Amino acid sequence: MLDFKSVVDLFERLPTEQKCIDYFTDIRWANGAYCPYYGNQKIFHYADGTNHKCSACKKRFSIKVDTIFENSKISLKKWFTAILQVTTPKKSLSSLQFSRDINVTQKTAWFMLRRIREVTKLESFSIPLKSTVEIDETYIGGKEKNKHQNKKTKGTQGRSTKTKTVVIGMI
């Protein structure tokens, strides 16, 4: 996914769902195809190009098994668009705006964004950053003066951070 500069670039290089499947297959199985259930490298490929069968455990599987795309009827093209938009630096991406961008329901957009954000918590995403890294921080939370009298926190005034949440971002 790192070599796409924009959504237009993504659509030019992967115009069809089959091209997306081929691209994902090349990434996932760069060292050879294997069964995600058994680990066996001897697998049979069905004629449809998307389904496979392990010769050892006889289980049928697709390239999406054991990924964030598993059990999702959403096309890989929309998934790739989602990942590109989430990883492109900008302030934030709401599920409502995202649903308009890729033409899905808000519920589907929320589901996709949740899965993408969950996978970024995995250890494989904690590799050291190279080159120049930009870091910024902010405090999120309401102002004390806007709170009702009985909701105000004692001992806070001015730009106090006692009731605020720290948010740090890196690019």
pLDDT band at 124 (very low <50, low <70, confident <90, very high): low
User: Are residues 113 and 34 part of one domain?
Assistant: yes
Residue 161 lies in a domain: yes
The count of structural domains within the chain is: 2
Q: Are residues 16 and 38 in the same domain?
A: yes
Question: By residue range, what is the domain housing residue 96?
Answer: 7-125
Q: Do residues 70 and 41 both lie within one domain?
A: yes
Q: Domain for residue 81, yes or no?
A: yes
- In this structure, the answer to whether residues 55 and 105 fall within a common structural domain is yes
- Same domain membership, residue 76 and residue 139: no
pLDDT at position 107, please?
94
pTM: 0.63
Q: Give the mean model confidence (pLDDT) for residues 70-95.
A: 84
Sort residue 90 into left (φ over 0), alpha (ψ -120 to 50) or beta. Answer: beta
Q: Do 119 and 143 belong together in one domain?
A: no
User: Same domain, yes or no, for 153 and 101?
Assistant: no
Candidates 38, 4, 40; CA nearest to 20 is 4
Instruction: Let me know if residue 158 belongs to a domain.
Output: yes
Residues, the chain: 171
Quote the pLDDT of residue 57.
92
Strands of 12-157, DSSP E: 43-45, 51-54, 60-62, 135-140
Give a yes or no: residue 130 inside a domain.
no
The values of phi and psi at residue 168, to 5°, are -120, 135
